[in-house]
Structure 1
Amino acid sequence: MKFSTSLTLPLLASTCSAAAVRRQNGDGPQGGTDATQGDLSGRPPPRFPFPILEFPVAKETVVLNATMYIQPGEIFDGQMKRYERVEGSCNEQAEGTDADAVFNLLPGSTIRNVIIGKHQSEGIHALGDAWVENVWWEDVCEDALTSKGLNTQLRVIGGGARNAQDKIFQDNSLGGKYNITGFVADTFGTFYQSCGNCLNQAKRNATIQNVVAINGTRMGIINPNFGDEIRIKDAQIKDIKFMVDKEIGNNVQTVPYTVGTGPDEKYALYNMTRDRITTFNGTVLSQYVPEDPYSWLGEFWPSLRNKTA
């Protein structure tokens, strides 16, 4: 694998930053090692570039009659088809269930190279440890990706989402860890949210690295009273009103209240300067370039047609 630096690409309907695939070695203090998300180097190198400044153009749509379950140990490769539910509709006023999702990921599964279509009430639910690779949400309704289960390790590499009326990444896990690398976010309410009023609560840990996020309300919401931690590194942002809001969460399903915002030494573990959080100006500072890219990438990303032929 190799990385390109200071790469300027056209700013289309989405935008992005850099993402390095590297080993995660455990929870560390502010500015220290990222939260453990499994051994990234133990998997085959990704065959898609990330981040990339354009959304893929689907050539085929698959309409599902019901939620598709990805089985334990299964690697589901959608090869950039668009997936939708036949009764899909967007109602951002209601919290969706597993039955409303387009995909449910069972523990140990992987989903990759998928486009989630518009007007889906829920995108993907991870019901245990899972990998989400090169997955794109064309128009998010309630949530794009929700983590559930006990101590769920959810790992996101590449991909992107736009027009999230509420949240992109929702963490409903009980003591889980969420790692997001090389993602594109364009127009959203909250990038990552630790559930503030789930019936079962515990410390959650999020690491957001090498992403580009533009036109959003906030990058994160965490619950310090449950010990939540969030780390943000190498992020390129633009037109984001708040970085991380801190709320007093509860388990009685009442609306939590905000008690502060911004970095600290215990929960919101980031520093704008030290952790290289900069203003996005249309230039990707670093991009993963696969040594063995998928031969079909140019079919869905016009800018890659001459690079993968």
Structure 2
Amino acid sequence: MKFSTSIALPLLASTCSAAVVKRQNGDGPQGSTDATQGDLGARPPPRFPFPILEFPIAKETVVFNETRYVQPGEVFDGQMKRYERVEGSCNEQAEGTDADAVFNLLPGSTIRNVIIGKHQSEGIHALGDAWVENVWWEDVCEDALTSKGLNTQLRVIGGGARNATDKIFQDNSLGGKYNITGFVADTFGTFYQSCGNCLNQAKRNATIQNVVAINGTRMGIISPNYGDEIRIKDAQVVDVKFMVDKEIGNNVQTVPYTVGTGPDEKYALYNLTRDRITTFNGTVLKQYVPANPYPWLGEFWPSLANKTA
């Protein structure tokens, strides 16, 4: 495992290998890693690079007649096929249900090496603790990935999404944690959003690290009145209007109102200098390079053809 960078920065020494996601009681202090980072010691290291700017080119499309459920303990490896629903259509005005998703992840499941095709009403719903690895959304409709359930620990490593007119990552969990590492977002409304008007509300936590975000409205929306926390670090952004907006959330399904934007000492826990949030200039500063890459990477990423042989 190594990074293609001239400066040795210890981002994924603990993020990319893990076994079981344990329940957590809190988060690290401002600027530190969140408390879930200590759980990642035994999981095999990823076999794909991230962040990678180039979106994969699918060679095969699989069309489901209904939502595919990934079972507890199952590892669904899509081998970079494109997955769609037969009746898939984009309706940006309606909030999709679990029945509208291409995949539903049951607690303890993993999905990896998947491309979600265009015009899907919903991409992936995580109904409990899950891993989402090297998953790509070609054209996001309502949401790319939605976290649900009680205290859901959801981890995203690698992958990317583009053309998310609304949001990429939606957190509807009750007291959950979202950890996003090595993701690429190109043209989006909101990168991560904690639900501001769900019927059941609780504190939610998000950690966003080593991502590339291009042409978006905002990186995050949180509800401080429920104690939400968001951490952003080692991020490269360009043409993103706001970093984090803060709203007064509610549980009566009315539109929440914004009360502020930017970092603070309790909820929006990031600092542009301390947490190395820089302007993206076209070059990934800290890319993870696998020691044992998948031999087929060059089939879907032409730029990797000579690096995985």
Rounded to whole Å, the distance in 2 between the matches of 1:70 and 1:162 is 24
Q: Which stretch shifts more, 51-60 or 27-36?
A: 27-36
Alpha-carbon contact 2:16-2:40 (below 8 Å) kept? no
CA shift for structure 1 position 129: 0.0
**TM-score, with length taken from structure 1:** 0.93
Residues 93/80 of structure 1: CA separation in 2 closer, same or farther (3 Å cut) = same
Matched, 1:59 2:59: yes
1:16-48 deviation line (CA, Å, top 9, x unaligned): 999999999961121123242562221001011
Residues 151/14 of structure 1: CA separation in 2 closer, same or farther (3 Å cut) = closer
Report percent identity of matched pairs. Answer: 92
Rounded to whole Å, the distance in 2 between the matches of 1:34 and 1:258 is 26
Report 1 or 2 for greater relative contact order, CA contacts < 8 Å, sequence distance ≥ 6. 1
Residues 255/104 of structure 1: CA separation in 2 closer, same or farther (3 Å cut) = same
Alpha-carbon contact 1:212-1:235 (below 8 Å) kept? yes
Rounded to whole Å, the distance in 1 between the matches of 2:124 and 2:79 is 17
Residues 292/105 of structure 1: CA separation in 2 closer, same or farther (3 Å cut) = same
Residues 17/154 of structure 1: CA separation in 2 closer, same or farther (3 Å cut) = closer
Q: Which runs of 5+ in 1 are unaligned?
A: none
Residues 153/17 of structure 1: CA separation in 2 closer, same or farther (3 Å cut) = closer
Aligned length: 309
Rounded to whole Å, the distance in 1 between the matches of 2:305 and 2:22 is 28
CA shift for structure 1 position 9: 19
Q: Say which SS state the counterpart of residue 139 (structure 2) adopts.
A: coil
Rounded to whole Å, the distance in 1 between the matches of 2:238 and 2:136 is 20
Q: Which runs of 5+ in 2 are unaligned?
A: none
Residues 149/14 of structure 1: CA separation in 2 closer, same or farther (3 Å cut) = closer
Residues 4/20 of structure 1: CA separation in 2 closer, same or farther (3 Å cut) = farther
Residues 307/126 of structure 1: CA separation in 2 closer, same or farther (3 Å cut) = same
Rounded to whole Å, the distance in 2 between the matches of 1:296 and 1:258 is 46
Rounded to whole Å, the distance in 1 between the matches of 2:263 and 2:40 is 27
Alpha-carbon contact 1:15-1:212 (below 8 Å) kept? no
**TM-score, with length taken from structure 2:** 0.93
Rounded to whole Å, the distance in 2 between the matches of 1:63 and 1:4 is 37
State the partner residue of 2:255. Answer: 255
Rounded to whole Å, the distance in 2 between the matches of 1:159 and 1:139 is 13
